[in-house]
Amino acid sequence: MADLVDHIDNMRDHWWWRPGWLAGRHFYACHFTMSAYTELVELVQRYQEALRPFPGLDLIPPNWLHLTMQGIGFLDDLGKDQVAELERGIRKKLAQTPTPTVTFHRPVVRPEAIYLPAFPPEPIAEVRNAVRAVIGDVLGLDNVELAPEHVQGYRPHVSVAYSNTAQPAEPIAAALAQVKAAPVKVVLDHVDFLEFHRDNRMYEWTRSEQVRVGH
């Protein structure tokens, strides 16, 4: 069961207030939204059914499923002209970037979330590096690392549920291990510019604008 637990004993609350976050404050990012990928949504929901008995988990509805790629900054720290320039640059760059094809299968239990890793990670990293290059050009290289998704240790994944309390990981992993599911292959042909908050124990966006990846 180590492949599910990922070598942790206990989970903790995901919803602690990270630096800069406040109720009502919106963050701006470029992430993959996943609700359009029906087979992946069904895979997520199969695992979520096994997780329903655990009150310490917040299951993510289909409309908020996403693959975290690259945060950019808090919206109130960015000017409208900067946002417009970022979006123009990212659209142009991603039109020339290969479309990732990745597979999702078995979940892992991490300290604050249960998620489905994307394999192989390299095609998503290539898209991410393209976005980071534009951020560096527009906002400066120092600002590329302001978001929590650093280059080192980046694991592309789609979260299934967030932990909202301290709790043991082993019973959760045991429940997930009982689920029989086939792997799902997804062609990630778009990312989204997202403006979102986390006021309701969920990442909920108030703006989502699709950007095509590849030709």
Tell me, what's the pLDDT at 142? 72
pTM for this model (two decimals): 0.93
Residue at 176 is within a domain: yes
* CA distance to 42, 81, 158, 201, per residue, from 61 (Å): 11, 33, 12, 12
Tell me, what's the pLDDT at 1? 52
Domain count, the chain: 1
Residue 152 has pLDDT above 80, yes or no: no
Q: Which residues are bridge partners to 116 per DSSP?
A: 158
Mean per-residue pLDDT, 173-191: 97
Residue at 132 is within a domain: yes
Residue at 20 is within a domain: no
Pairing of strands 108-109, 184-187: unpaired
Pairing of strands 157-163, 167-168: unpaired
**Mean pLDDT taken over the chain:** 93
Mean per-residue pLDDT, 131-152: 74
Residue at 175 is within a domain: yes
Which DSSP state fits 94? H
Q: For residue range 28-80, list pLDDT tens digits in order.
A: 999 999 999 999 999 999 999 999 999 999 999 999 999 999 999 999 999 99
Here the CATH number for the domain that contains residue 149 is: 3.90.1140.10
| Structural domain range at position 89 | 2-14+26-212
The helix/strand/coil state of 116 is strand
Tell me, what's the pLDDT at 150? 52
Residue at 21 is within a domain: no
